[in-house]
Structure 1
Amino acid sequence: MSVKIENLDWMSYRELVENGKSKILIPVGAIEQHGPHMSLNPDVLIPQHIACQVAEHAGGMLVAPSIAYGYKSQVKSGGGNFFPGTTCVSSRSLEEYVYDIILAFVEHGNREFILINGHFENSMCLVEAADRVVKQARLSGKEVKVILLSYWDFISEATIGKVFPEGFSGWAVEHGGVLETSIMLKIHPELVDMSRAVDIPPAAFPPYDVFPPDPSWVPESGTLSSPSKATAEKGEWILDECIEKIATTFC
């Protein structure tokens, strides 16, 4: 039987979730440019893949349809909103949407949720939604638990050393770089064209933000570092570790 909720009929779903016996995994991403070499949806496809693999490995889990639209792309983490295709929502919209979805699942009988984030900028919006859900459920006499994680926090220094044998420039400039590109080469190689990858030095930003954002801060490619050394093998190393650790931690 599928671990994806949208692939189940309602009676099978009801049986799987009654009395809160299934944990619900909710991938949350964004539609955002990732350079000329890659599709707009890595932030959706990566957490979705991880969620499905975790559910398959751990058992007792179901995967909700992914939330594709995320909070506004920021210059120093996602290149900003200057690029055609980057399609983001406000913090209020994302918070309310996630809040409503989880409460709907609570009404089905579900009591434990794991939000798997694939877009850095989403983090505080998801914190607010989770906090409100728990409080609202408690007012209705229901005890609900929401876990929020970002998959990259499960990547060890040892794996980083393997992926970046010449040195790691840091998470801040990994947008569209080796990590995301390697994972996409592993799970969706048809959405990556390495012949279009732009080899650039890591972006350098001042220690402050400016509004309105300044497009000149962002490399023309939209990537904040070079993806040129990405490989499917590196993607496999990253995914294997993330999936194993998440499944072991929350099974």
Structure 2
Amino acid sequence: MVSHRNTTSSLLAGFSLFLFLTCAAPAQAASAASGSVFLEDLTSFELRAMVAKGATTVLVPIGGTEQNGPHMALGKHNVRAKALAGQIAQRLGNAVVAPVLGYVPEGSIFPPVAHMRFSGTISISEATFESILESTARSFKQHGFHHIVFLGDHGGYQKSEVRAADKINKEFAKGGDFHALALTAYYEATQAPFIRDLRAKGFSDAEIGTHAGLADTSLMLAIDKSLVRMDLLAEGAKTGPSDGVYGDPRKSTAELGQIGVRHIVDQSVQAIQEAIKQGN
């Protein structure tokens, strides 16, 4: 016969284990989140502590919501910019990543031109876009950051990034402790060096393309293949400009995309480090 005392002890032990397991899980999750480079994962107090310890560079990934043909999701730029900014921040060791800006200039809405001719593309004016970048920079200066880096995954707004960074640098020129950088090296890495390597592997410019072609699609496969409709690529039907595709994505692979990822991360890290060293 089991004693009442033993039964009570067993129940107490079981309850204690339950409390430990239920309390430990949130604590472990909080601990993991505090080690993230993504601002959205952090509490205000965790971020303040990181800045105090020297994480005074903030990366602002800029994507865009636009059509990418029948085989690739509208959020391509947003997902890619966040993932690559995360890799760059990890390499830098003293940076955090701001939320992705997914609303960008995509051309005229009325009448619709370029990507706006396809469902799902969102466009804002260049003036609005640049104003958002400027306000973002001022916000981070207020919180103790010394460097803000605009890194854009889309070619259409690179000049706007430069204009916004120039305006911020003029505004805070007297203080000398805050600088904005339009990281054009990020986008440039997806062009000449990546295209050169793809050509070396035997791909033609017609295949590599400029939008939703082999280069663009391979980069997405390397970052998040769930955004690419592989069944459509496998069917082998060639798409073209009338479908929003400029290039031929049918031979795209994650392995090819990794070539572009390496170029982007390496060149971006180097450009940021050089700019900070020069006080820009």
What is the TM-score when the length of structure 2 is the normalising length? 0.74
Which of 197, 210, 213 is the matching residue for 1:162?
197
Does the CA-based 8 Å contact 1:18-1:110 persist in structure 2? no
Range that drifts further, 146-155 or 44-53: 146-155
Quote the Cα distance in structure 2 between the aligned partners of 1:5 and 1:15.
12
Q: 1:245 matched to which residue of 2?
A: 267
Write the distance in 1 (CA, Å) between the matches of 2:179 and 2:39: 19
| Greater length-normalized contact order (CA 8 Å, ≥ 6 residues apart) | 1
Shift of 1:167: 2.7
Q: Which residue does 1:204 correspond to in 2?
A: none
**Partner AA of 2:38 in structure 1:** K
Matched, 1:65 2:99: yes
Taking the aligned partners of 1:191 and 1:180, their CA distance within structure 2 comes to 12
**What is the Cα-based RMSD across aligned positions, in Å?**
2.4
**SS of structure 2 residue aligned to 1:220:** helix
Shift of 1:239: 0.4
Corresponding position of 1:126: 161
* Aligned-partner Cα distance in 2 for 1:161–1:167: 10
What is the rounded CA distance, in whole Å, between the counterparts of 1:244 and 1:127 in structure 2?
21
Q: Which residue of 1 aligns with 2:69?
A: 35
Bigger drift between 13-22 and 94-103 goes to 13-22
Letter in 2 for 1:199: K
**Deviation for aligned residue 1:104:** 0.4
C-alpha spacing 1:228/1:35, structure 2 compared with 1 (3 Å): same
SS across alignment from 2:172: helix
How far apart are the structure 1 equivalents of 2:252 and 2:138?
A: 39
Distance 1:156 1:56 in 2: 23
Secondary structure class of the residue paired with 2:148: strand
**Largest Rg, 1 or 2:** 2
- Residue 113 of structure 1: SS of its match in structure 2? strand
Compared CA separation, residues 3 and 227, structure 1 to 2 (3 A)? same
Structure 2 unmatched ranges of 5 or more: 1-34, 274-280
Where structure 1 has 5 or more consecutive residues not aligned to the other structure, the ranges are: 202-218
Q: Secondary structure at the match of 2:40?
A: helix
1:199 to 233, 238, 241: 238
Q: Does the aligned pair in 1 maintain the 2:38–2:98 contact within 8 Å?
A: yes
Question: Aligned runs of 1:192-231 on 2, under 5 Å?
Answer: 192-197=228-233, 199-200=238-239, 219-231=241-253
Query: Which digits, 9 at most, give the CA deviation of each residue in 1:138-197, with x for residues without a partner?
Result: 36x3542222124231257564243232332598x5111112210111111111013324
For 1:227 and 1:158, locate their aligned partners in 2 and report how far apart those are by CA, in whole Å. 19
Is 2:128 the counterpart of 1:93? yes
Percent of residue pairs bearing the same amino acid type: 27
Q: Is the 8 A contact 1:29 1:44 kept in 2?
A: yes
| CA gap 1:20/1:144 in 2 versus in 1, 3 angstroms | farther
CA gap 1:240/1:12 in 2 versus in 1, 3 angstroms? same
Contact 1:185/1:232 (8 A) holds in 2 = yes
What amino acid does structure 2 have at the position aligned with 1:50?
A: L
What is the DSSP-based 3-state SS (H/G/I as helix, E as strand, rest coil) of the residue aligned with 1:116?
A: strand
Q: How does 1:107-126 map to 2 (within 5 A)?
A: 107-126=142-161
**Worse-superposed segment, 65-74 or 154-163:** 154-163
SS in 2 for 1:228: helix
CA apart distance, 1:79: 3.3
**Number of residue pairs the alignment of both structures matches:** 229
